[in-house]
Amino acid sequence: MLRRSAILAALIVLLTTLTTAPAATALTVPSPTVDAFYKPPTPLPDVVPGTVLRSRQVTVKALVVPVPTKAQQVLYRSTDTHGRANAVVATVLTPITPWLSGGPRPVVAYNVGSHGLSANCAPSYWLRQGIEYEFALQSLALAKGWAVVVTDYEGSATPNPHTYTAGPATGHAVLDGIRAAQGIVGKDGPVGIWGYSEGGLASSWAAELQPTYAPELKLKGVAAGGVPPNIGNVGYKIDGGPFFGFFIAAATGLSQAHPEMGLEGFLNDKGRKAFQQVKDMCQVQWTPTYAFHRISEYTTVRDPIQLPQFQKVLAANELGKRKPATPMFVYQSVNDEIIPVTDARALVGKYCAAGTTVRYTESFVSEHISLAVTGAPGAVAWLADRFAGKPAPSTC
Which whole number is the average pLDDT over 317-328? Answer: 98
**Buried (b) or exposed (e) across 170-200, using 16+ Cβ within 10 A?**
bbbbbbbbbbbbbebbeeebbbbbbbbbbbb
Cβ atoms 287, 258 nearer than 8 A: no
Whole-angstrom distance, CA of residue 204 vs CA of residue 183: 23
Return the CATH architecture of domain 2-229+322-387.
Answer: 3-Layer(aba) Sandwich (3.40)
Cβ atoms 289, 229 nearer than 8 A: no
Q: Check: CATH 1.10.260.130 for 231-315?
A: yes
Which whole number is the average pLDDT over 71-93? Answer: 97
142: CB partners within 8 A, 6+ apart: 69, 93, 95, 148
Residues catalogued as catalytic? 197, 336, 368
pTM for this predicted structure: 0.93
- Could you give the residue ranges of the DSSP H alpha helices within 186-242? 198-213, 231-238
Tell me the per-residue pLDDT of 191-205, one tens digit each, with 9 for 90 and over: 999 999 999 999 999
Phi-psi region of 389 (alpha: psi -120 to 50; beta: other; left: phi over 0): left
Domain edges within the chain: 2-229+322-387, 231-315
| Largest pairwise CA distance in the chain | 61
Whole-angstrom distance, CA of residue 372 vs CA of residue 338: 13
Which whole number is the average pLDDT over 154-183? Answer: 93
What pLDDT is stored for residue 293 in this prediction? 97
- Is the pLDDT at 7 greater than 70? The verdict is no
pLDDT confidence of 165, banded at 50, 70, 90? very high
pLDDT confidence of 161, banded at 50, 70, 90? confident
